[in-house]
Amino acid sequence: MKSLTTSVFLAVVFVAGYIALRPNVSEGADTTSKYNPALIKVAWDAPTTNTDGTPLTDLLHYQLAVSKSPENPDASTEPVAYVTIPCDEPTCAFQLWDDPGVKAMIDDASIIYLQVRAVDWALNASDWSNQLAVELDTLGPSAPVNIRIELSVSVTVTTP
Ligand SMILES: [Ca+2]
C-alpha cells in the first residue's frame, strides 16, 4: 500500500511539474503539441521596479533573444537573433515572424529558446527572463497517392 501511495504521489508531482513547465506561448498552438512558427506570438509581463525596489520610470525598450541553443544568450556559442521591442504596456507581445532575422533563424529549427530583458534609458539591461523552449512543427504530412481523373467528359467532334 505504501508503494501505491508513493506511486500516486510521484504521478501527481510529475503531472503538476509538466503543467508548470510546458511552453506557455500566448498564441499559435496548432492541433499537435508543437507550434506553427508563422503564428508564434510571445508575450511577457513588464517589470515595475528597479533592482533596488524603487519604481521603474525609465524603461526604454525590451530585447528579445531567439536562439537554437539553450545557452545564456550573452555567452552562447550558437548564433542568437536579437530584436529590440518598444513597449509601454503592462503586458508586451511580439510576433516572431515580424523580424526577418528571427524568421531566418526559425526557418530550419525544430526547437527555439526565447528570453527577454528590459533596457532603461541609460542602457542598463536587466537580467534575462526565464527561458522558454518552444518546439516547432517541422513534421509535414505524407504525400497523397493515387492522383487520378474521377469525371471523364469525352467530346466527340463531328465533321459535317
Ligand atoms: Ca535606470
User: How many Å lie between the centroid of ligand 1 and the Cα of residue 120?
Assistant: 5
Q: Which three cell numbers stand for residue 153?
A: 467528359
Q: Domains plus CATH for the chain?
A: 24-135 (2.60.40.10)
| pTM greater than 0.75 | no
- Going by pLDDT thresholds of 50, 70 and 90, the confidence category of residue 61 is very high
Question: How many whole angstroms from 124 Cα to the centroid of ligand 1?
Answer: 7
Predicted confidence (pLDDT) at residue 28 exceeds the cutoff of 80: no
Residue 68 Cα to ligand 1 midpoint, Å, equals 31
What's phi and psi for 106, nearest 5 deg? -70, -30
Lowest mean per-residue pLDDT among 8-22, 68-82, 100-114 = 8-22
Per-residue pLDDT tens for 65-83?
A: 999 999 999 999 988 999 9
Question: What is the CA(58)–ligand 1 centre distance, in A?
Answer: 6
User: Which residues have C-beta within 8 Å of that of residue 128, sequence separation ≥ 6?
Assistant: 65, 72, 73, 74, 115, 116, 117
As a 3-state breakdown, the chain gives helix, strand, coil percent values, each rounded to 5, of 20, 30, 50
Strand order from edge to edge, sheet including 80-85: 80-85, 59-67, 111-120, 132-135
CA of 121 to the centre of ligand 1 (A): 7
Ligand 1 centroid vs 89 CA: distance in angstroms? 18
